[in-house]
Amino acid sequence: MKTFTKSLLAASCVLASTGVLAEDGPFSANVALTTDYVWRGISQTNEDPAIQGGFDAVFGGFYVGTWASNVEFKDDAHMEQDWYLGYGGGAGPITYDVGYIAYTYHGNSDLNFEEGYIGVGYKWLSAKLSNDFENDNLYAEIGAEFELGGAVTLGLHYGDYSFDDSTSDYSDYKVSASKEFGGFDFELAYTDTDIDADDLADGRVFLTISKSM
């Protein structure tokens, strides 16, 4: 799951990826075009572009939504669709988010999995833990955002993926610059992992253009 952007920190964790926190009402939609769908440091589209989008609803602190993207795997899975729900809020500069997400893959249901997550944030800093219910895999991440001149936002991310078998563990990081222009959000990012034997996990630059409605 993908392109996290807005601000509660329910938002800075999973909601940020979806544009869930619309100010104009409880319902919102989002659409994005990216030169490479990268998730936790690894290309999900064999380094090809992706079209993505989702729908969300927020009632008080509760939210529910779905998000989809094309993917390209070797096992007939060509579309990912995520379903999620949770609760987020905050007090002063502190924010929190607790939720559930199901990752489903059209064409190969064997790839489906579910996670529970909890995130906290303080001003420009955020942290999140996601746990795979079935396999007990754990993804821990921290992030930071800084406002630069010219309404440009610098984003920093570091993640550590720990698997139950321990032999597949890896870390990833991402540096991004984003800016709103003409009603669209533009993000240019560089990401890399410490995986050596997989071209899809190598360092790469990608551009994402998105819009929330």
pLDDT tens across 105-117, in order? 999 999 999 999 9
Least confident of 14-18, 38-42, 152-156, 171-175: 14-18
- Report the chain's mean pLDDT, rounded to a whole number: 90
Query: Tell me: the pLDDT tens digits for 127-170?
Result: 999 999 888 899 999 999 999 999 999 999 999 999 987 778 99
The reported pLDDT for the residue numbered 23 is 52
CB 32 within 8 A of CB 11: no
CA distances from 96 to 8, 14, 91, 126, 202 (A): 8, 11, 9, 9, 32
* Stretch 13-19: mean pLDDT: 40
Does residue 188 carry a pLDDT above 90? yes
pLDDT bucket at 57, cuts 50 / 70 / 90: very high
What is 15-212's CATH superfamily?
A: monomeric porin ompg (2.40.160.40)
Q: Domain locations in the chain? A: 15-212
Residues 6+ apart with CB under 8 A from 181: none
